[in-house]
Amino acid sequence: MKSPIDVVKGHIIGYDPNSQELTIKARYPDWPIMVKREYKDCNIQLIDGRPLSGRQRKTCYALIRDISDFSGMGLDPTKEYMKIKFLTEDLQETADKMFSLSNAPMSLVCAFQRFLVHFLLDWDIPSSIPLLDFVDDVQDYLYACLASRKCCICGKEADLHHIDHVGAGRDRNEIIHEGMKVLPVCREHHTEAHTIGQITFNEKYHLNGGIVLDKKMCKLYKLNENASDNDFPF
């Protein structure tokens, strides 16, 4: 019986950077079905063609081992549990879409690695590796550290380091913090940033400018935020 959902493999044969349009060539062998179903539109899933590196695979296993050591669950059960949790919660897929770290697309492994990093931060699980050196998206990692109050460099409890200076003589309780750039760092790294200077600090730890405080983070840290129109009765 013909499946009600057709999946067709194809190849990208062109891309126009001006219009941002892809040209895709795909073969569909069943013309009568195509006419009967009146196919006009399709969803396209782009497959990451980059080869999976051994470094990424080892990073995932190191993070899974940290979770395993923290929870007391064995390594293999932890690996399967985290993969199912990732599929069902992060990707909203079913468990039958299980993947292997030996041959999964790089984009999927990067997403799984991000999920594991967020899990460690959310549950305050110590990491055996410096997370900042292994994340694919530094800005996403910095925001996650900001949300969990963890130092983005060493994982200790974090203070807010303002990259945009508050200014001498200004009351931190009065100024608007929303829109300011900050970094979540511990006392030790906060002091280091002031000692060696922000540019040298960024270069040393491969940071790229910090995170802009939004309303959510201002509320979390109990900082003044920009007032919205709804805050005023007139």
CA atoms within 13 A on the CB side of 81: 12
- In the listed set 70, 104, 132, which residue is the last one of a domain according to the structure? 132
Tell me the whole-structure pTM to 2 decimals.
0.75
Total number of domains in the chain: 2
- At 165, the pLDDT band (50, 70, 90 cuts) reads low
- When computed from its CA atoms, the radius of gyration of the chain, rounded to whole angstroms, is 23
- Asked, for residue 21, whether it belongs to a domain, the answer is no
27: tokens are: 């073969």
pLDDT at 233: 35
- In the listed set 95, 117, 132, which residue is the last one of a domain according to the structure? 132
Residue range 167-184, pLDDT digits in tens: 544 555 567 788 899 999
The parent domain of residue 157 ranges over 138-220
Q: Specify whether 153 is located in the same domain as 120.
A: no
Instruction: Answer yes or no: is pLDDT of 232 > 50.
Output: no
Paired strand residues for 79: none
Q: Specify whether 148 is located in the same domain as 214.
A: yes
Mean predicted confidence (pLDDT) in 206-212: 88
CA 4 vs. chain centroid, Å, equals 34
pLDDT at 47: 75
Q: Specify whether 142 is located in the same domain as 126.
A: no
- At 224, the pLDDT band (50, 70, 90 cuts) reads confident
- Asked, for residue 31, whether it belongs to a domain, the answer is no
Q: Specify whether 110 is located in the same domain as 151.
A: no
Residue range 87-126, pLDDT digits in tens: 999 888 776 778 899 888 888 898 999 999 999 999 999 9
Between 198-205 and 187-196, two packed helices, what is the crossing angle to 10 degrees? Answer: 120
- In the listed set 113, 132, 151, which residue is the last one of a domain according to the structure? 132
Q: Specify whether 81 is located in the same domain as 117.
A: yes
pLDDT at 226: 64
- Asked, for residue 45, whether it belongs to a domain, the answer is no
Q: Specify whether 144 is located in the same domain as 205.
A: yes
Q: Specify whether 59 is located in the same domain as 86.
A: yes
Mean predicted confidence (pLDDT) in 64-90: 95
Mean pLDDT is lowest, of 23-27, 166-170, 188-192, 223-227, for: 166-170
Q: Specify whether 119 is located in the same domain as 186.
A: no
- Asked, for residue 165, whether it belongs to a domain, the answer is yes
